[in-house]
Amino acid sequence: MIRTLSLCCFLLLPWVYLQSQDSSPRPNIILLMGDDHGWEEVGYNGHPFVKTPFLDEMAETGLRLDRFYAHPTCSPTRGSFLTGRHPNRYGTFTPGHSLRPEEITLAHLLQQAGYGTAHFGKWHVGPVKASSPTSPGAMGFDEWFAHDNFFELNPVMSRNGGPPKTYYGESSEILIDEAIDYIKRQQRENPDQPFFTMIWYGSPHEPYSALETDLALYRDILPERYSDQTVSLTSNETGTKTKRPLRDVLVERYAEITAMDRSIGKLRNALKTLGLRDNTLLWYCGDNGTPPSGMRESALRKMKGYVYENGIRVPGVIEWPGGAAQAKTISANAITSDMLPTVCSLAGIDTPQRPLDGVDLLPIFSGQSAQRSEPIGFWNFKKDAKAYQNAKPYIDPELQKGTTPLVKQMKGIYTRNFVNYHHPAITENDYQGPRAWLAGDYKLVIDGEKHSGVELFDLAEDPGETQNLATHHPELVERMSKELRAWQGEVLQSLMGQDY
């Protein structure tokens, strides 16, 4: 029998019981996401160096999600965040794959329900230009201040899909200032309209750059032994690969995390000053695990790109003083796909009539349930290169060309272009690729890395995934394998377009 994680304690959300009353104002929603921010890289999870006082305070006074997951890489997670669906359902397989225009996003739903909607920061599920059928505007946002991909100090951003422009300063603070300006304008011009604001940071994605005051916090505290190891990352000078001492890189990476954390503190203070903090839900998470350039000693297995814990487990905290006034810790499994159905439930609106992989977490938050109602599937799709040689583009390639430059050069250019294809006929090969099935404490991993085969882990006893229990529980492996395979079949039907 599958053992399930219990709640450390229960959270009572008054909104669950008040949302049907006309006199109860709908909450404002702010969803924030860091870029390549791994689970261990916050103070509240015991990191020995990283300083994140504001996230730590949110974790201490709000809702701390100890088993919160994303997908192994960036664009897939962002797709799941927006749609509540696994990214393989609509061909967002890896970074650089766009959404499909037919997808229904959380922004669409809240916009139709009367919310003001705005996006700030990284997008990376299609170009941000106004003509793109998968721009933030096309995906339900009234306003956007965004970049096609990641960005550093002095970012080049597009406002509402217009020509890119350089904005000078620390990028996390720039995003927060823009978001605060939007919230102030909403309060002034539409005081009775709730708002949905999405803030996706460019930090702490490499190549790293930070303010001197933040760099100074780490120069003297990181052990010198990290200088003996070199890591590969992008050069800020050339935009191509270079190798540098890990210690120097970590100083810059941790400085970016601290700057991002400080911007969250600024946002929280602004909400308090504006009298909005009590009825504003603030939810922060990362988009995937720690990348190779940021890896040091870790209790978790592997890194970004893998379906093991260090690739998919990320920080997750929620703050909502008026709706979740007591500090609680939840150890039930949750994932970015759950954000759409959960927020829809909070706002009192229906979810789309199509297959969702996310579930409403309110029964867990309110104490009505001690576990997530469904297992979670992770799957790095193994695209068949031959099958895709003649595949038809889902979107005109001209509309998939990005406009906002970044430091990192790729294929000789400093902008990013996107792809999505009509999937060829389903074959047995389509079921391959690293994949995992998470049900309660138990996690089944198939082909997680080369020659790893079938693995079963008890995450309650072995969060580092060091002990393969597959031979000890053959019936459990068989059952979970069948569940995973059946779910993959459903996802492939979605990929073929049946949901539209």
Enumerate residues 6+ apart whose C-beta is below 8 A from 333.
Answer: 5, 67, 69, 371, 372, 376, 438, 440
- CA–CA dist 53, 43 (Å, integer): 7
Q: Which single residue is written with the structure tokens 């794959």? A: 97
Collapsing DSSP to helix, strand or coil, 362 comes out as: helix
Residue pLDDT, tens place only, 105-120? 999 999 999 999 999 9
pLDDT: which is higher, 20 or 348: 348
pLDDT at 104: 98
Q: Which CATH number fits domain 14-375: 3.40.50.2300, 2.40.50.100, 1.10.1060.10, 3.40.720.10?
A: 3.40.720.10
Q: Please say if the pLDDT value at position 9 is more than 60.
A: no
Task: Please answer whether residues 315 and 69 qualify as being in contact, where contact means their C-beta atoms are separated by less than 8 angstroms.
Answer: no
The domain ranges of the chain are 14-375
* Short-list 389, 481, 387, CA closest to 428: 387
| Band of residue 325 on the pLDDT scale cut at 50, 70, 90 | low
pLDDT tens digits along 245-273: 999 999 999 999 999 999 999 999 999 99
Q: pTM for the full model?
A: 0.95
Type and span of the H or E element at 230: strand 230-234
Q: Report DSSP letters for 451-467, one per residue.
A: T--EEEEETTT-TT---
pLDDT, the chain, mean:
94
Planar angle of CA 365, 172, 160, nearest 5 degrees: 95
- Assign 323 a pLDDT band (cuts: 50, 70, 90): confident
Of 16-25, 234-243, 303-312, which range is least confident?
16-25
